[in-house]
Structure 1
Amino acid sequence: MTTSAIMANKITSNFSNTNCCCIFVRRYIVPAIIFIIFQGHMWDSSNTCLASMLLERDHYIGAVVEFSPELWDQSEEPKYLLVRNSRKLHKIAEEAAREKADIIVTPECGLSGLNLPVVRDKLKLFTTFIPNVEDNEILCEEKNKLEVAEHLKELSCAAQKNNIYLVANMLEKVSCNKTHPGCPTDGLLIYNTNVAFDRTGKLIAKYHKFNLFIEPETNITSAAELSTFHTDFGVQFGMFICFDILFKKPALEIIEKTNVKNIVYSTAWFSEIPFFTAVESQAGYSYSQNINLLASGYSFPKNKNFGSGIYAGEKGPLVMIMPEKPTNKLLIAKVPIHPDYFINKETCDIEKQYCDIFDTKKIDIHFNEDEKLLKTESNNLIMDFYHDDISKFSTVLLDKNKNINEMDYKETETVGEKTFNYNEAKFKCEVTVKWEKYNNTDLTEGMPVYRLVGYSGTRSYGGLLTVDIEVCGLIACKSYDISTCGYTPDFSKNNLTNITSIVINIERPHKSNPFIMTLDKNMLALRGNEFKFTNNFNKITDIQSSTMILETPHNDLITFAMYKPS
């Protein structure tokens, strides 16, 4: 019997199977030991009182918001903008509370907007001091020791008044000694910071973004922080921000070193086809690491910023959104406390984009008509994307008779199978695809043309950082011209290629989990029950072998691949 089982046995034997026992266990004992139990320990099932309490909390209600904040008009003092957006987030927290959510996550730059000044003196006007977590400050109350901005207090009150855990993103200023290396001449460090409040409004966690993306005058800590916090519903959450998700520090280290199975994630993601749209990246990280991810996205599609969702590891997306226009929408889902809790893969309704078993909802949020709108023609804008350069990849067109250099090709096969192999720098990639044509008509302009791709090399992120990547899989292009890969094909025709099977195998040195990148015509990730993924590491040979198999035929795929981002 494990230590946790012995603890549970002693507790229940002392209080017998009485109502008093159940009340005591629910109120005091379960929050203390449920996390240990769900990390893989066992308990004696004869302790029916404790077991029933634990089964009541096999899930929590998670909420994230796809949020389009007001933007700074460069004339008013930023503090007024920050307060207005914080009050909007407060209103959204009220709606989440009505849905009995335990925790709500809000997006990166949800208070300030993305059109921040690049001049330090002006950027400082968007910042606030934030107390240390160890101070146990309830910022909603007037007794806090450190002078903090009104928008920070507003969020503390949103958590307190709605009895909900709340995660928010903001710019923080921290005093430093001007004589110390790295301290700016004004004696202030500026961090892109996430904060977490408990149900009382108390500040319980902070995290400083470590991997910045085009954030002038913003600082980073000397090492990546592994920020976690515990909740009264038995879950320990890890926390990081946006671009961090692509890097070992902290996105992989926080799982390896703290053993968290739930991550809260604020983002203002810049979506790129075919491998890095927001939802695709969120689902890929959650699936490959088999962790729950609550991802809240900044919504401004014309600027390529959009995409939110709640994901349950290998169970796949529970609820997700990639809106065509700036949106304020609350996403709610029943999340298993541990992603492995449900043994069987649930059947999801693909068309309705949700799994009934997880009780998901998408709720539109409306604000007063007299409030300021975005200082753009945002209501008339549609989504836009960055586009990866596929010309550097090794690729072959799907049809077995098509030579990559022939541009006058007409398809003659109604069914087919092709295997593609790529081997470079100790990275082995093999893709086998089976397909069929609904009819044998000629290709219509813009229709999807599929390529099998492999690549081991480097890529640049926004011209700021060059990293090593590895890719293996299938992508859709708009034509036979490889320059159209990375653009959205036209899936409205009736003579589409139906992909009936894809099997991807990769081998690479050293232990690591590739991202599982899937994308359909709706810019959404595939459900967890539509494919299989296995990952095995041979300690003797130091070789990682991964296999990804499409199990549900699709005529609307844009991406089906494994991608090692850094």
Structure 2
Amino acid sequence: MMLRCVIILVVLGTSLSAFPARSGQEKRVFTLEDCAVGDEVRYTAAVLEYEPYKDWSNASSGDDILMTNVDFIYEAAKMAKEYGADIFVAPEYGVQSLDMYTNDSVRFQSLTQQIPDPSLRVVPCAIDGQVANFIAIRSLSCMALELEMYLVIDLAEQAACNTSQAPCQADGLSFFNTQVVFDRAGTVIARYRKQNLYLEPQFVPGPMDDTTALFTTDFGVKFSLQVCFDISFLHPAYTNIMEEGVRDVVMSTAWVDETPFLLAIGVQNGWSRGLGVNLMVAGYHWPEHTKLGSGVYRGYSDLNNLYSYDPNSGNELVVFPVTSCKTSPTTTKDLRNKNLPVITRPIKLDISSGNRNKEPRQQRTLHEDLSIYERMVLPPTETGETNSVSQCHDDGLCCHLTYEHSSSNLTYQLLTYSGVVKKGGDIYQIYEQVCAVVWCESENWRTCARLDLFEPPQDTFGPFNMQGNFSCETVFPVGLTRDFNLIPNSVYSVNSVNDSLYTMTSDQGTYNTMTVALFGRWYAKDP
């Protein structure tokens, strides 16, 4: 198996005096400066971008599907351990695969597992004998024990229930999309059942108990779990950040990409940066079905990140050191192996066994209906000159933009919106406030961010300064290029005054821009 190592360097930009200087600290809930002397801690995180095995033509049972994927996860986790990983994260549906959604209820149930109650401190690896729907749980527990590593795995869970109480099925079972955490001894220490389901009809939402998403490691860091669509809502991780002081979040996802604002890596980086937390994300790799994107985002410390977002990458392992703060006194001894290497640089490993030699894969994305936005085409400027425009929408939201755009004749539009947007085929409704600049092929909004239809030349937008007077609880920055990469965090700053006036500034401009946005979520106004 050939391994490919990629080292990423972040280049800092220079300042142009024509635009406002960065004043004060960036608005984040937490920063490393809040950490008391002696409480700073460093650990190594590993996340797996993975396309699970799902070929029923070569599988005699659900156990064959499960164990093929568990075996791959074992090889990836073992590789991560060689680089000193303390915690390893696998993607949503990474064991059972998305192919579990068929009309065959027997097949579906064969891909589910019984997950022990964390309060019982069960070590599944130590349980002998035949236990139905337990093979993957036992193997994963043994894996964590052997590798002495925290494992965060997403599984389809079956749980006994009372048939007289909805939504229990007639056979006395309920099914959940569940993250389970094993400690270094193979003990089940957390079991979080996804609360915010996304087009998952066989599952029921987990209980509204955010504490089930919490676990604390032997190195003193308290983590919160979340699964995919959860990142769009208050529960569980956002609430655990605000109420429990969590600074480190672990996420499994099978994301659905949507331009211009909701590409996986843009959401992940913006959420980490906007809240000032470290975020570790393992994503399902299936670009033909809008799914890819994983990474480690250090929003709590230096804003550096390392991510995988390439339709042709196949399976990829991201390993990155993370600096955090002890959030509670440790009750167990730090069991980290002091003989393992301590990495000081980002590492990406291609573990696809020659996948890159295959035909290029198609990447599909959804596209938001931008007709509901206020829109303004931005006139180009002369070299060295700036232009200022303003645009308002509902709830008193006004966006103000000062910019320079003289490097090309490409079309950019200022978008402004405050209100409900619909997702998942209009099934889900969330309340947003947005100020954004988006590349469009023409003045027609239907061409905005449509990189599947057009190939614009490269250029630079900016320098620029964008402001919005937001009423919502939290605003997340989004910066994406037209080749679907993140605009480096070092290229722009985000500040706020009185938690309402937010400013996004780039002193040097952003290269090959698709989207720069202040993306606000008004949770209290969700329908």
Asked if Structure 1 and Structure 2 have the same fold, meaning a TM-score greater than 0.5 normalized by the shorter chain, the answer is yes
CA contact (8 A) 2:277 2:299 kept: yes
State the SS of the aligned residue for 1:107.
Answer: coil
Of residues 509, 514, 519 in structure 1, which corresponds to 2:471?
A: 509
Of residues 332, 337, 352 in structure 1, which corresponds to 2:324?
A: 337
Corresponding residue pairs, total: 469
For residues 491 and 433 of structure 1, the distance between their equivalents in structure 2, rounded to whole angstroms, comes to 27
After superposition, what is the alpha-carbon deviation per residue over 1:434-457, rounded to whole angstroms, capped at 9, x for unaligned?
224346xxx5xxxx5211110112
Choose 77-86 or 119-128, whichever is displaced more: 119-128
Indicate how the Cα distance of structure 1 residues 462 and 182 shifts in structure 2: closer, same or farther if over 3 A, else same: same
For residues 339 and 415 of structure 1, the distance between their equivalents in structure 2, rounded to whole angstroms, comes to 48
Counterpart of 2:314, as a letter, is T
For residues 344 and 456 of structure 2, the distance between their equivalents in structure 1, rounded to whole angstroms, comes to 31
Of residues 520, 530, 537 in structure 1, which corresponds to 2:498?
A: 537
After superposition, what is the alpha-carbon deviation per residue over 1:169-196, rounded to whole angstroms, capped at 9, x for unaligned?
0100110111123222111110000011
Of residues 232, 247, 272 in structure 2, which corresponds to 1:286?
A: 272
Number of the residue aligned with 1:263:
249
Number of the residue aligned with 1:471:
434
CA contact (8 A) 1:513 1:535 kept: no
Counterpart of 1:319, as a letter, is L
The answer to whether 1:418 aligns with 2:374 is: no
Number of the residue aligned with 2:118:
133
Of residues 172, 186, 200 in structure 2, which corresponds to 1:187?
A: 172
State the SS of the aligned residue for 2:255.
Answer: coil
For residues 499 and 460 of structure 1, the distance between their equivalents in structure 2, rounded to whole angstroms, comes to 30
State the Cα distance separating 1:41 from its structure 2 match: 6.4
The answer to whether 1:450 aligns with 2:412 is: yes
The answer to whether 1:318 aligns with 2:305 is: yes
State the Cα distance separating 1:115 from its structure 2 match: 2.1
Counterpart of 2:266, as a letter, is E
CA contact (8 A) 2:314 2:352 kept: no
Number of the residue aligned with 2:502:
546
**Mapping 1:100-499, distance limit 5 Å:** 100-119=84-103, 120-142=105-127, 148-226=133-211, 227-313=213-299, 315-325=302-312, 327-338=314-325, 359-366=345-352, 379-399=359-379, 413-414=382-383, 416-438=385-407, 443=409, 448-463=410-425, 464-488=427-451, 493=457, 496-499=458-461
CA contact (8 A) 1:172 1:192 kept: yes
State the SS of the aligned residue for 1:68.
Answer: coil
CA contact (8 A) 2:70 2:139 kept: yes
State the Cα distance separating 1:249 from its structure 2 match: 2.0
Counterpart of 1:428, as a letter, is L
State the Cα distance separating 1:397 from its structure 2 match: 1.1
For residues 514 and 484 of structure 1, the distance between their equivalents in structure 2, rounded to whole angstroms, comes to 26
For residues 422 and 316 of structure 1, the distance between their equivalents in structure 2, rounded to whole angstroms, comes to 30
After superposition, what is the alpha-carbon deviation per residue over 1:29-56, rounded to whole angstroms, capped at 9, x for unaligned?
xxxxxxxxx895645xxxxxxx5xx66x
For residues 326 and 555 of structure 1, the distance between their equivalents in structure 2, rounded to whole angstroms, comes to 23
Counterpart of 2:237, as a letter, is A
Counterpart of 1:396, as a letter, is M
For residues 142 and 375 of structure 2, the distance between their equivalents in structure 1, rounded to whole angstroms, comes to 54
The answer to whether 1:557 aligns with 2:513 is: yes
CA contact (8 A) 2:110 2:133 kept: no
The answer to whether 1:85 aligns with 2:72 is: no
Counterpart of 1:108, as a letter, is E
Choose 183-192 or 318-327, whichever is displaced more: 318-327
After superposition, what is the alpha-carbon deviation per residue over 1:182-227, rounded to whole angstroms, capped at 9, x for unaligned?
2221111100000111111111111111111111111113425331
RMSD: 2.7
Number of the residue aligned with 1:71:
54
For residues 52 and 360 of structure 2, the distance between their equivalents in structure 1, rounded to whole angstroms, comes to 16
Counterpart of 1:187, as a letter, is G
CA contact (8 A) 1:283 1:317 kept: no
The answer to whether 1:523 aligns with 2:494 is: no
Counterpart of 2:423, as a letter, is Y
Aligned sequence identity (%): 26
For residues 432 and 144 of structure 1, the distance between their equivalents in structure 2, rounded to whole angstroms, comes to 66
State the Cα distance separating 1:555 from its structure 2 match: 2.9
Counterpart of 1:132, as a letter, is D
CA contact (8 A) 1:317 1:525 kept: no
Indicate how the Cα distance of structure 1 residues 144 and 549 shifts in structure 2: closer, same or farther if over 3 A, else same: farther
Counterpart of 2:465, as a letter, is V
Choose 330-339 or 69-78, whichever is displaced more: 69-78
For residues 35 and 84 of structure 2, the distance between their equivalents in structure 1, rounded to whole angstroms, comes to 29
CA contact (8 A) 1:517 1:563 kept: yes
For residues 264 and 41 of structure 1, the distance between their equivalents in structure 2, rounded to whole angstroms, comes to 20
Indicate how the Cα distance of structure 1 residues 40 and 468 shifts in structure 2: closer, same or farther if over 3 A, else same: closer
For residues 114 and 87 of structure 1, the distance between their equivalents in structure 2, rounded to whole angstroms, comes to 18
For residues 89 and 493 of structure 2, the distance between their equivalents in structure 1, rounded to whole angstroms, comes to 29
Q: Which has the higher contact order (CA 8 A, sep 6+)?
A: 2
State the SS of the aligned residue for 2:486.
Answer: coil
Counterpart of 1:325, as a letter, is N
Counterpart of 2:270, as a letter, is G
State the Cα distance separating 1:304 from its structure 2 match: 0.8
CA contact (8 A) 2:210 2:239 kept: no
Counterpart of 1:359, as a letter, is R
Counterpart of 1:381, as a letter, is R
TM-score (normalizing by structure 2): 0.83
State the SS of the aligned residue for 2:474.
Answer: coil
For residues 229 and 143 of structure 1, the distance between their equivalents in structure 2, rounded to whole angstroms, comes to 27
Indicate how the Cα distance of structure 1 residues 128 and 564 shifts in structure 2: closer, same or farther if over 3 A, else same: same
Q: Which runs of 5+ in 1 are unaligned?
A: 1-37, 44-50, 341-356, 401-411, 539-543
CA contact (8 A) 2:220 2:326 kept: no
Indicate how the Cα distance of structure 1 residues 394 and 470 shifts in structure 2: closer, same or farther if over 3 A, else same: same
After superposition, what is the alpha-carbon deviation per residue over 1:447-471, rounded to whole angstroms, capped at 9, x for unaligned?
x521111011221111211222111
State the SS of the aligned residue for 1:216.
Answer: coil
